[in-house]
Amino acid sequence: MTNISASGRLEGRKVVVLGGSSGIGYAVAEYAVQEGAQVVIASSNAQRVADAAASLGSKAEGHALDLTDEHAIQSFFDATGSFDHLVFTAGDSLRLGEIATTDLSEARHAFDIRYWGALAAVKHGAPYLAKGGSIVLTTGIAALRPQSGWAFGASVCGAMDALTRALAVELAPLRVNAVSPGLIATNLWQNMSEAERAAMYEQAGKRLPTGRVGEARDVAAGYLFLMESGFATGQTYVVDGGGVLV
């Protein structure tokens, strides 16, 4: 496990992390377990879910779940029952490219999990959230600082920003927030070769005020803060190493 100083902030709480078998979602689940929570993780890859749950230990359970299937999501929450915090970090590999050369039918897939999956999770998960609970969604700094070829990724991120604010109003007093990571070294970039990834991380890191790209553990604390803070709602918490500044 990542070496995180635990203080028991989530003792007695139950946290559901959709997308919790790898990357940022796994880091959030790991952090929550160390803070005393009972954690339920779910994502589409059954073997990866099983491996992640085993690694997290006795306070975690895992379920394979197709986050593009609303009926499956509804059944999952019906079976899970009452819980305290919902975290949504799920997302497939990013599809980047200029609009002129992009198949729009493929581009629409970018919304299937990141937007529609999140919306379905909120729709069916919110009724089971305990008083004082929260929802933490995931967006990205592309909504604030898009680059050439990022039109679709930036669109998803912008949609998630707006959705977060709208849900915070509609679902009040239930709190709804989002975390907006910058460039994070996770399996999100698995479609690139190892050499391409390394070069991207090195070049991007040199431009950032922090001098490096982020890791999943750098972002996980943001989700825990938003779960714990009873006065934060409708907010997008940027964790990007200063990326929007340069």
107: CATH: 3.40.50.720
Task: Look over the chain and give the mean of its residue pLDDT values, rounded to a whole number.
Answer: 91
Biggest CA-to-CA distance, the chain: 52
Tokens coding 191: 């479609």
Q: Stretch 37-50: mean pLDDT, rounded? A: 97
| Cα 28 from Cα 222, distance rounded (Å) | 9
pLDDT digits (tens, 9 = 90+) for 44-53: 999 999 999 9
Domain contains 76: yes
Mean pLDDT computed over 97-105: 83
Residue 99 — pLDDT band, cuts 50, 70, 90?
confident
Q: Count Cα atoms within 13 angstroms, Cβ side, for 142.
A: 22
Residue 62 lies in a domain: yes
Q: Bigger pLDDT: 215 or 59?
A: 59
Q: Is the pLDDT of residue 209 over 60?
A: yes
Q: Is 118 inside any structural domain?
A: yes
- What is the edge-to-edge ordering of all strands in the sheet holding 236-239? 60-64, 38-43, 14-18, 83-88, 129-138, 175-181, 236-239
What's the confidence (pLDDT) of residue 6?
A: 61
Q: Report yes or no: 87 and 36 within 8 Å, Cβ to Cβ.
A: no
Two structure tokens written together for 62: 């895992």
pLDDT digits (tens, 9 = 90+) for 223-241: 999 999 999 999 999 999 8
97-126 average pLDDT score: 89
Domain extent, residue 239, equals: 14-245
pLDDT the model gives residue 86? 98
What's the CA gap between 17 and 39, in Å, rounded?
A: 7
pTM over 0.85: yes
Asked whether the CA dihedral 38, 41, 178, 237 is positive or negative, the reply is: positive
Residue 184 placed within a domain: yes
**Over 80: is that where the pLDDT of 17 sits?**
yes
In a domain, 117, yes or no: yes
Strand-pairing partners, residue 200, are: none
User: Predicted confidence band at 108 (pLDDT cuts at 50, 70, 90)?
Assistant: confident
Q: Which two tokens stand for residue 150?
A: 């990022």
Six token digits for residue 158? 């912008």
**Is 5 a domain residue?**
no
| Whether pLDDT at 5 is above 60 | no
Structure-token match 């709208």, residue found: 166
Mean per-residue pLDDT, 153-163: 94
Q: What is the amino acid identity at position 109?
A: H
* 201 close to 193: Cβ distance less than 8 angstroms: no
* Residues pairing with 42 in the sheet: 18, 63
Could you tell me if residue 139 is inside a domain? Answer: yes
Q: How many structural domains does the chain have? A: 1
What pLDDT is stored for residue 203 in this prediction?
A: 82
| Per-residue model confidence (pLDDT) at position 83 | 98
Cα 36 to Cα 20: distance, rounded to the nearest angstrom: 17
- Which amino acid, 126? A
